[in-house]
Amino acid sequence: MRNSKRTTQTLILLVLACMLTACGFQLRGSYSLPFQTLSIALAPNSALYAQIKRGVEASSPTRIVDDPKAAEANLVVLGDTQEKVILSLNAAGRAREYDLVRTFTFKVIAPDNTDYLPPSRITLRRDMTFNDDLVLSKDAEEALLWRDIQNDLVQQLLRRLSAIKLVRQTAEDAAHAATP
């Protein structure tokens, strides 16, 4: 009786595991990038570069290379802005609530400058209340929110990079497509 129950439970777990993998489920942070090498057009000593590189190398066999000509794909950063916008004021006219906004614009190109991914934008926001009596703790909270925004930015960027579909044409396919 116990053996039968254990076998049934094991079988149910196996079926559930198969269903999860069949539907395309993957753990967050595991990405399969469609290219072997990637160049990142950012300063190599920047925190964002280091975080993107760490995310790419930890989650896929893709290597980060310095030379854009040696890369199968190039991540080109078109813009990266951070803004702190006042959302509301208190009775004394001082800021009571802020909106932290980061906008990251990028594209992914092949070495021949064809677009794998046209210019795309990622915009992330976080709200933050402010109190003049808690300046030090609010500064620490703001720094934490900016780090959280950057972490989310890298995760969204990696998801978008993993969604790219490379079109690899063989010479025979290209010749066939060129003839009417």
Is residue 151 a part of any domain in this protein? Answer: yes
pLDDT tens sequence across 27-68:
555 678 899 999 999 999 999 999 999 999 998 899 999 999
Is residue 26 a part of any domain in this protein? Answer: no
- CA distances (Å), 85 to each of 103, 117, 155, 171, in order? 13, 30, 24, 53
Is residue 172 a part of any domain in this protein? Answer: no
Is residue 134 a part of any domain in this protein? Answer: yes
Assessment of whether the complete model's pTM goes beyond 0.75: no
Domain containing 99: what range?
31-165
Question: What's the average pLDDT block by block, 10 residues per block, for the chain (180 residues)?
Answer: 76 72 57 90 95 92 93 96 88 85 97 94 92 75 94 96 72 48
Question: Residue 149 is part of a domain; what is its CATH number?
Answer: 3.30.160.150
Is residue 6 a part of any domain in this protein? Answer: no
